[in-house]
Structure 1
Amino acid sequence: MTIHRSVRALSRGLALIGELNTSGPSSAQQLARKSGLNRTTCYRLLQTLQQEGYVTFDDKSALFGLTPQVRRLSEGLSSQDLSRQAALPPMFGLLEQVSWPSDFAVFELGRMMIRESTHSFSPFSVHRSMVGLSRSLVRSALGRAVLTAASAAQRREMLEICASLVPEDAALTRDRRYVSRFVARTRSDGYASSVGETEQGISAIAVPIGGVGPVIGSLNIVFFTSAMTPEVAARRYVASLRQAAHDIERRWRAAQA
């Protein structure tokens, strides 16, 4: 990852916004003292923020305050941004414990879309760019975990969308016996699994991630089929996987509150 040198003016401007958000309307002198900036720099930054519409100045009280435009910065936060914020710290914690890579995925347009991944950081991965790629709803552990956790109505809707939008999975999606078998097995095992069904030589186990309402996605651990079976992987890692999924769910709920 390339780390760029931070722009000092931007950092200082954000610090002033943060201070106004914490303390409320304040004078330039108060902001300079609390932020550690000299008064001239503080005035210059406040004037720029005022020109851009993020800060207002009250002539009577001589206090600066935030405008409603600042709220738009947080209101524009997408579900994808939220999912990344929720998923990444627990995923890196999981990577430290198991070394094998993981993917966090959500249901989108009939597939499981990978939103975050630790493949780039795992010593055991042959994939370096997974974010933005998709996995099968019915053949991947990610998809099976979500389908099993969903309500019957949600599962039916997801399968119908998959059958309509993903031609290569349409036949399996409509095969009720096939779907019922892996749903029953996933429930019995307590985790979803796949062996070479999305990519030759690659296996995975996965668990669902709940949210405020329907299941929001799933989290897997990916490993070489030659290294171990899903049963062995589950014995070694499923407790850590479930804890990471629980942490993601908790962080997601907090972000939505």
Structure 2
Amino acid sequence: MTTERSDTIRSLARGLHVLSAINRLGAASLNQLHQETHISRQAILRILATLEEEGYVRRWLNDGLYRISSISPGVSRNFAQLTLMADIIAPSQVELMAQLDWPTDVAVLDGDRMAVCETTRRQSPFPFPLVRAGHRVHILQSAVGRVYLAFMEEPEREALLTRLRLSLDPYDTQSRKREAVARLVEKVRSDGFGVREPGYVAPGSGHGASMQALALPIFQGARVAACLSATWFARALSVEEFVERHLHDIKAAVAKAEMLIASSGIELQA
């Protein structure tokens, strides 16, 4: 009994040691955890598998690093919305990846830009440029930005456009063309989705000019919590072909994401 109890306590201690290291580092690879804890890699993998299963940590899709889960039991809910959305919606992205092969991104509004929460580009069989969590794209050119703008509540939309009109960024000058913006919003709302401005290349996004993207809003109640986008090579499929082949699956992933948000019980930032 003494030996069994000692082994159990030792296993618990090692698990807490790994959890503490992840919390301290913010994001950690297997090698980093091995260096920090001096526990064997094989044992760390078993610990991580248990922590993931119990909801305390998650291995992020965009960089493969382990982070404390924002929806883990007993962990503070005081997390940025970017992290919350990454944790909640990632399961929907993983399932969608198996259906599309094309990668998907989840993004939220971050000031006057959209910020990527999580992406499956690393898992895609296609050679897409990789982006990390926090990568920011413009509102009026990106698919996620356009769909967020179109489906956000009117007072918030006007406040955002007012800020964009004061911006010195060349990509924001379109915000001053009020009729064009109104037509864009109307079209996105009519279609139910937004598409990227052809040729748009966000800073740090690699060969973005050769890519196209389509995004849908993810709602929490009446407000947009995030946007889910799928990206593909423009030469492979037209927007119309992509819609015909894949829109149904993306809508299903959005519906599941909305259910996950609702069941999480988390109040997202306004």
Whether the TM-score (by the shorter chain) exceeds 0.5 is yes
Instruction: Pick one of 195, 199, 217 that aligns with 1:196.
Output: 199
Deviations 1:17-59 (A, max 9, x none): xxxxxxxxxxxxxxxxxxxxxxxxxxxxxxxxxxxxxxxxxxx
Question: SS state of the match for residue 228, structure 1?
Answer: coil
Distance 2:73 2:121 in 1: 35
Say if 2:86 is the partner of 1:84. Answer: yes
Q: Determine the structure 2 residue equivalent to 1:119.
A: 121
Distance 1:88 1:187 in 2: 25
* Structure 2 residue identity aligned to 1:253: A
Distance 2:226 2:15 in 1: 37
Tell me the CA shift for residue 115 of structure 1: 0.7
Q: How many residues align?
A: 196
Question: SS state of the match for residue 200, structure 1?
Answer: helix
Structure 1 window deviating more from structure 2 (145-154 vs 98-107): it is: 145-154
Say if 2:234 is the partner of 1:231. Answer: no
Say if 2:227 is the partner of 1:218. Answer: yes
Instruction: Pick one of 260, 265, 268 that aligns with 1:256.
Output: 265
Question: SS state of the match for residue 134, structure 2?
Answer: coil
Structure with bigger gyration radius:
1
Asked whether the equivalents of residues 109 and 165 of structure 1 are also in contact (C-alpha less than 8 Å), the reply is: no
Q: Alpha carbon RMSD of aligned pairs, Å?
A: 2.4
Say if 2:12 is the partner of 1:9. Answer: yes
Identity %: 24
Asked whether the equivalents of residues 85 and 226 of structure 2 are also in contact (C-alpha less than 8 Å), the reply is: no
Deviations 1:84-117 (A, max 9, x none): 1211000011110000001100111201100110
Tell me the CA shift for residue 148 of structure 1: 1.1
CA 1:130–1:226 in 2, change beyond 3 Å: closer, same or farther? farther
CA 1:107–1:175 in 2, change beyond 3 Å: closer, same or farther? same
Deviations 1:180-235 (A, max 9, x none): 22222212322111232233111011101111452112111100110111111111
Distance 1:226 1:189 in 2: 22
* Structure 1 residue identity aligned to 2:195: S
Q: Determine the structure 2 residue equivalent to 1:242.
A: 251
Deviations 1:48-94 (A, max 9, x none): xxxxxxxxxxxxxxxxxxxxxx9973343443332112110000111
Distance 2:127 2:178 in 1: 34
Asked whether the equivalents of residues 219 and 258 of structure 2 are also in contact (C-alpha less than 8 Å), the reply is: yes
Gaps of 5+ in 2: 1-9, 18-71, 202-207
Distance 2:187 2:80 in 1: 35
Tell me the CA shift for residue 13 of structure 1: 5.8
Question: SS state of the match for residue 217, structure 1?
Answer: strand
CA 1:91–1:142 in 2, change beyond 3 Å: closer, same or farther? same
Counting only pairs closer than 5 Å after superposition, residues 122-133 of structure 1 correspond to structure 2 as: 122-133=124-135
Say if 2:207 is the partner of 1:207. Answer: no
Say if 2:190 is the partner of 1:184. Answer: no
Asked whether the equivalents of residues 100 and 124 of structure 1 are also in contact (C-alpha less than 8 Å), the reply is: yes
Distance 1:153 1:87 in 2: 27
Tell me the CA shift for residue 153 of structure 1: 1.3
CA 1:71–1:219 in 2, change beyond 3 Å: closer, same or farther? closer
Relative to the length of structure 2, the TM-score reads 0.66
